Structure 1
Amino acid sequence: MQINNDKLDLEQRVSYIASNTSADKGKEDGFDEVKTPGELEDGAIVSGGALNLYSREAFALFCQYGSIGIIYGMIPQLMYPLFNNYLNMEGYQTASYNVLVTTGWSFKVFWGMLSDCVPIFGYRRKSWMIIGWILTFICLAVMTFVPLGAPYCDARLTDCTIPIANYTKEEVAKYFNLDASNRGSLFIMLSLFVSIGYVVADCAADAMVVEYAQREPEAIRGRIQTAIYTVRTLTSILAQIVVAFFLNGPEYGGSFNWAVGPNVPYAICLIPCVLVIFTTIFLQVEPHTKKLGFGQWCVQFWELLQKRVMWQICAYRFIANTFQTIGATPTSPIAYRWAGVEPLNDSLSGVIGNLIFSGILIVVGKYGLNWNWRYTIAAGTLGVIVVDSFVTLMTVWAVVRNQWFYTGVALADNVPAGVQFIVSTYCAVEIADVGNEGATYGLVTTVSNLASPFASVLYKYVDSYFAVSQKDIMRDDHQVRLEVTYCFLISYICKCCSLIWLFLLPPQKAPMQELKRRGGKSKLAGALLIILFFCAIAFSLTSNIMAIFPSTKCYRIAGGKGTVNGTCPT
């Protein structure tokens, strides 16, 4: 297993480091004294020694991220076979689904805050892990037993590639379920709460990761983040394989002559929920902690928000990621209508994509802990744009329309995504102070995650002025192809613009620590960070929820074509 090989390699370099699972025992409040890096062994931020990746507490931590990986790999992956093909929801609606099922990540700072200063039964982390997993279990149980209904078009009975206008009224009533797209709303909203549940657990686990990472010497700091996110990515592959082989029947747009019901994937996700609750209770290691006063925590966190290192990194993560994640709404429709991507191939490409993502994490964790972050991100981004644009335009203009050729787009995107993701976690560890690990890690990664729904609002609004709906894609004429091309060109230009903001990102850990010590403070910048954070969350969440309801989905802010006489047309 690659993680174990990494561990042995790192231990050879720092053989004197041992895991100290009881480093916090005997401390009155459970917090280590903050020391300047360099005062401890080889630049560690706090004392305690690096975590042994074979220890019981490491195994329990891996269980958290393994369970998250399965659910995080399953729920978003249902977008194409279930919501795009089975329910025939529009491209802007499926784009909203992708955002909403990951919306819980946008509130990580709040869950991290609770984990920092509201211990339950003396535990800051374990209790919130259990609460999060119970919420996830309840929502998944509801989706398991509430029927989703018949598909929009039952491909087992008729040819669903023929426009519905060519059918008689009797045939439409027999072969089509015109209410199918509206029935997806309940499941999308429950999926939103599923994401909130497991993200609550994830935030408590993230806070533990920060504590462990700050105990690592500078030369290997980042090892534990690389390990846990590699576990999360690899376990998500199991979920994608389930979608690939179980949801590839004709009703899902696939080629198999059989498939499971649309509720089965949710039932499968219940299994890790149960298992991780038990491992959290019986295996997770955490010393008892006294409650940190909320007022005291607020003062401490406000001091951190004012520091230049905090607001500068947050500004970079939000602005750069907003440009980087500007996509195109016709992505899913052209995959189904033009490239003929089956759920099996879509899921298998996701599996390969996650393997690439894991590979990037392992390479950066083993060889690139001291690489220049700016150069690495720039090289990955430009390389992917070249590959992505070539594949997409060849498909749009019917030069090559092959499902395996088209799904290569998703594979290339994993290169810069992996680099930017792991770099953001490295930044959070360098910034965090003892006592606010959860909120700091949550804020830095939340700002990064929040860019995705905000970008989704922007590109859905812009793309709503182009003829790229499901019906337009089925026409497949020159004008439609031209309008789809415009949507993708706008996306690529924005991705290139994301590199303009690299000057805000320090090139490595040492410059980051220097910026933290000597960067100064600004109350105005801290206040603006808070205000813009709340505004972005409110705006993004509202617009994406509007996109999934029939009465509001046509508004341009939701990605629709606009109202008719003040209302959405049927």
Structure 2
Amino acid sequence: MQKNHDKLDLEERVSYIASNTSFDKNKGEGFEEVKTPGELEDGAITSGGALNLFSREAFALFCQYGAIGIIYGMIPQLMYPLFNNYLNMEGYQTASYNVLVTTGWSFKVFWGMLSDCVPIFGYRRKSWMIIGWVITLICLAIMTFVPLGAPYCDARLTDCTRPITNFTKEEVAKYFNEDASNRGSLFIMLSLFVSIGYVIADCAADAMVVQYAQREPQAIRGRIQTAIYTVRTLTSILAQIVVAFFLNGPEYGGSFGWAVGPNVPYAICLVPCVLVIFSTIFLQVEPNTKKLSFGQWCAQFWGLLQKRVMWQICAYRFIANTFQAIGATPTTPVASKWARVEPLNDSLSGVIGNLIFSGVLIVVGKYGLNWNWRYTIAAGTLGVVVVDSFVTFMTVWNVVRNQWFYTGVALADNVPGGIRFIISTYCAVEIADVGNEGATYGLVTTINNLASPVASVIYKYVDSYFAVSQKDIARDDHHVRLEVTYCFLISYACKCCSLIWLFLLPPQKTQMQELKRRGGTSKFAGGLLIFLFFCAIAFSLTSNIMAIYPSTKCYRIAGGKGTVNGTCPK
């Protein structure tokens, strides 16, 4: 089923809300002396007073998150209308796109380390914000001015729903651009570097948010986070609306009689990128700081890795989320060719889904603080499988093929998805100590983020043995439907298997704290955690990058059908 991968796992963002600011610039041990909230007026963690949300400093922060919201709301959302419909890339290639455009979040620990330990011209945050936005600007500029080429099949000229085998050679040469899918490789790689750029800036901005949040009295603490996430969510929704209405022409699989060119979305993203660079230079306020000892940072981080509570939760999150993230490569082709989902519907469902997801977070945060984590995650996971499988199989077997049914019923996925997410943030909070908040949040959420690309590699490899390519889906015969069903059954079985690992997760906060106090340490487990972390990054990036290049995309490790005498079969 078409998933809204444009939805940023909010936990990735929250992870650096606790990031990096526990390191101070000038204390003898490299860390600021931390006082308990009761030692400061109104329960504030640090002195300085709450930030005025109408001040210059607040406006500069809002600019950061406004730009992030537009770009992150736009780039992943282009997968369906642009890369699937316009360029006709295979399902395993669009699955790689979804992973690669969020790859920057898998390196949050490193971006945070740079922001903490490597000030440039005396600035730990502003300098890295500018560096990140400059990287983003360069990549967006290239994608704005380099032509993407003609669509694979222009629906303004012919019926693109017919299989290409039903056209004569002359008609194929006239109406089809069979090289279209190869044109997407450059844009996918540039989108990867766009994600790296703005995540670097985001990590530095989140660290500043922590500093402001710790100055707030206990009664209103969280106000600044609420404000920046409101800005980010609103601008993200605006970006999704742009995709919905501007990329809904026939060439993008939509019903409108007009649409903008394929480079226009990148030009739109370029505007806030330019503006935020100027706001960072002229509006962002940050005092000069001294360089933090890298050795001190490493010593604290290594100590954290050895704690059982750390590596056990990381193990749970990586293994369970790998099973949970096992998808099916025919997801996107089924949406476009069988459910006839238009870009307008796809984007609007993403907007509504974001609103539902946010509402779930508020409800669980207010009423579900003491729910049993294991039972709640199990209920949420099974809920996803029941809802998703019903809609998917009704569509696959042509019982109901309607884009509103396909996308509308699937919005219910946001309910159990929101429950699973908010509980995972509770876990990260319980693990963190004063002085290592950034390292704790960064590592836990990075391990979680790596589960998605590893899962992508696994299910692309498995699904490569089934007849579920774009051409197969277009045939829509009994054999193809059966092959697609197998792919989705494997996906749902893996999601259910993710519940097996719940024994690694303490059922509630009390048990988590008990594990933290008495769990002990292990140098071997800490070292193994580091080793597997780098292995997962290397493996997932290599496989997903191979999937988007013509010379390597047919290898099974990249999700293709394999090679014959070293060449890719047609």
In the superposition, the TM-score normalised over structure 1's length comes to 0.88
Residues 460-492 of structure 1: CA distance to partner in whole angstroms, max 9, x if unpaired?
111111111111111111121111111111111
**SS of corresponding position for 1:378:** helix
- Farther-moved stretch of structure 1 (143-152 vs 353-362): 353-362
Report the Cα distance in structure 1 between the residues aligned to 2:256 and 2:367, rounded to whole angstroms.
43
Measure how far apart 1:392 and its partner are. Answer: 0.7
- Answer whether contact 1:319 1:451 (CA < 8 A) is retained: yes
Measure how far apart 1:515 and its partner are. Answer: 3.7
Q: Which residue of 1 aligns with 2:336?
A: 336
Q: Which residue of 2 aligns with 1:528?
A: 528
Distance of aligned partners of 1:23 and 1:496 in 2 relative to their CA distance in 1, 3 Å threshold: closer
Please show how residues 69-148 of structure 1 align to structure 2 within 5 Å.
69-148=69-148
Residue type at the aligned position of 2:446: T
Residue type at the aligned position of 1:302: W
Report the Cα distance in structure 1 between the residues aligned to 2:371 and 2:33, rounded to whole angstroms.
29
Distance of aligned partners of 1:235 and 1:503 in 2 relative to their CA distance in 1, 3 Å threshold: farther
Report the Cα distance in structure 2 between the residues aligned to 1:432 and 1:297, rounded to whole angstroms.
15
Report the Cα distance in structure 1 between the residues aligned to 2:166 and 2:449, rounded to whole angstroms.
43
- Answer whether contact 1:32 1:434 (CA < 8 A) is retained: no
Q: Which residue of 1 aligns with 2:7?
A: none
Distance of aligned partners of 1:23 and 1:346 in 2 relative to their CA distance in 1, 3 Å threshold: closer
- Answer whether contact 1:86 1:252 (CA < 8 A) is retained: yes
Q: Which residue of 2 aligns with 1:7?
A: none
- Answer whether contact 1:203 1:442 (CA < 8 A) is retained: no
Distance of aligned partners of 1:527 and 1:273 in 2 relative to their CA distance in 1, 3 Å threshold: same
- Farther-moved stretch of structure 1 (537-546 vs 313-322): 313-322
**SS of corresponding position for 1:389:** helix
Measure how far apart 1:519 and its partner are. Answer: 2.7
Measure how far apart 1:321 and its partner are. Answer: 1.3
Report the Cα distance in structure 2 between the residues aligned to 1:26 and 1:566, rounded to whole angstroms.
56
Residues 91-131 of structure 1: CA distance to partner in whole angstroms, max 9, x if unpaired?
11111111111111111111111112112222222221121
Please show how residues 151-550 of structure 1 align to structure 2 within 5 Å.
151-211=151-211, 228-369=228-369, 371-408=371-408, 410-433=410-433, 436-509=436-509, 511-550=511-550
Residue type at the aligned position of 1:71: I
Report the Cα distance in structure 1 between the residues aligned to 2:104 and 2:336, rounded to whole angstroms.
28
Residues 421-479 of structure 1: CA distance to partner in whole angstroms, max 9, x if unpaired?
34444444444455554443322211111111111011111111111111111111112
Report the Cα distance in structure 1 between the residues aligned to 2:141 and 2:245, rounded to whole angstroms.
22
- Answer whether contact 1:222 1:426 (CA < 8 A) is retained: no
Residues 210-261 of structure 1: CA distance to partner in whole angstroms, max 9, x if unpaired?
5556677899877765654454333211111001000011111111110000
- Farther-moved stretch of structure 1 (149-158 vs 48-57): 48-57
- Farther-moved stretch of structure 1 (48-57 vs 156-165): 48-57
- Answer whether contact 1:223 1:365 (CA < 8 A) is retained: no
- CA RMSD of the aligned region, Å? 2.9
Report the Cα distance in structure 1 between the residues aligned to 2:560 and 2:145, rounded to whole angstroms.
32
**SS of corresponding position for 1:473:** helix
Q: Which residue of 2 aligns with 1:54?
A: 53
In the superposition, the TM-score normalised over structure 2's length comes to 0.88
**SS of corresponding position for 1:296:** helix
Report the Cα distance in structure 1 between the residues aligned to 2:553 and 2:105, rounded to whole angstroms.
23
**SS of corresponding position for 2:440:** helix
Residue type at the aligned position of 1:532: L
Report the Cα distance in structure 1 between the residues aligned to 2:103 and 2:255, rounded to whole angstroms.
32
- Farther-moved stretch of structure 1 (393-402 vs 115-124): 115-124
Residues 35-93 of structure 1: CA distance to partner in whole angstroms, max 9, x if unpaired?
6788889998x444995583644554343233212111111111111011110111111
**SS of corresponding position for 2:305:** helix
**SS of corresponding position for 1:135:** helix
Distance of aligned partners of 1:409 and 1:114 in 2 relative to their CA distance in 1, 3 Å threshold: farther
Q: Which residue of 2 aligns with 1:8?
A: none
Measure how far apart 1:173 and its partner are. Answer: 1.4
Q: Which residue of 1 aligns with 2:15?
A: none
Report the Cα distance in structure 2 between the residues aligned to 1:43 and 1:285, rounded to whole angstroms.
25
Distance of aligned partners of 1:432 and 1:50 in 2 relative to their CA distance in 1, 3 Å threshold: farther
Distance of aligned partners of 1:23 and 1:198 in 2 relative to their CA distance in 1, 3 Å threshold: closer
- Farther-moved stretch of structure 1 (426-435 vs 499-508): 426-435
**SS of corresponding position for 2:565:** coil
Measure how far apart 1:568 and its partner are. Answer: 1.5
Structure 1 spans left out of the alignment, 5+ residues: 1-21
- Answer whether contact 1:323 1:494 (CA < 8 A) is retained: yes
- Answer whether contact 1:143 1:263 (CA < 8 A) is retained: yes
Residue type at the aligned position of 2:236: S
Distance of aligned partners of 1:441 and 1:275 in 2 relative to their CA distance in 1, 3 Å threshold: farther
Aligned pairs, number? 548
Residue type at the aligned position of 1:168: T
Report the Cα distance in structure 1 between the residues aligned to 2:98 and 2:252, rounded to whole angstroms.
18
Report the Cα distance in structure 2 between the residues aligned to 1:26 and 1:433, rounded to whole angstroms.
19
Report the Cα distance in structure 2 between the residues aligned to 1:514 and 1:217, rounded to whole angstroms.
29
- Farther-moved stretch of structure 1 (459-468 vs 30-39): 30-39
Report the Cα distance in structure 1 between the residues aligned to 2:137 and 2:262, rounded to whole angstroms.
18
- Farther-moved stretch of structure 1 (369-378 vs 543-552): 369-378
- Answer whether contact 1:222 1:369 (CA < 8 A) is retained: no
Distance of aligned partners of 1:166 and 1:561 in 2 relative to their CA distance in 1, 3 Å threshold: same
- Answer whether contact 2:23 2:435 (CA < 8 A) is retained: no
**SS of corresponding position for 1:471:** helix
Residues 403-428 of structure 1: CA distance to partner in whole angstroms, max 9, x if unpaired?
01111365233233333434444444
The percentage of counterpart residues that share the same residue type is 88
Distance of aligned partners of 1:363 and 1:225 in 2 relative to their CA distance in 1, 3 Å threshold: farther
Distance of aligned partners of 1:514 and 1:276 in 2 relative to their CA distance in 1, 3 Å threshold: farther
- Farther-moved stretch of structure 1 (532-541 vs 311-320): 311-320
Q: Which residue of 1 aligns with 2:10?
A: none
- Farther-moved stretch of structure 1 (444-453 vs 367-376): 367-376
**SS of corresponding position for 2:395:** helix
- Farther-moved stretch of structure 1 (214-223 vs 520-529): 214-223
- Farther-moved stretch of structure 1 (23-32 vs 350-359): 23-32
Measure how far apart 1:510 and its partner are. Answer: 5.5
- Answer whether contact 2:24 2:292 (CA < 8 A) is retained: no
Report the Cα distance in structure 2 between the residues aligned to 1:90 and 1:24, rounded to whole angstroms.
46
Report the Cα distance in structure 2 between the residues aligned to 1:39 and 1:458, rounded to whole angstroms.
51
**SS of corresponding position for 1:156:** coil
Measure how far apart 1:501 and its partner are. Answer: 2.4
Distance of aligned partners of 1:369 and 1:142 in 2 relative to their CA distance in 1, 3 Å threshold: farther
Report the Cα distance in structure 1 between the residues aligned to 2:504 and 2:49, rounded to whole angstroms.
30
Report the Cα distance in structure 1 between the residues aligned to 2:253 and 2:363, rounded to whole angstroms.
36
Measure how far apart 1:280 and its partner are. Answer: 2.8
- Answer whether contact 1:214 1:429 (CA < 8 A) is retained: no
Structure 2 spans left out of the alignment, 5+ residues: 1-20
Measure how far apart 1:168 and its partner are. Answer: 1.9
**SS of corresponding position for 1:121:** coil
Is 1:560 aligned with 2:560?
yes
Report the Cα distance in structure 2 between the residues aligned to 1:531 and 1:430, rounded to whole angstroms.
25
Residues 297-349 of structure 1: CA distance to partner in whole angstroms, max 9, x if unpaired?
11111011111222122112211211111111101001111101111111111
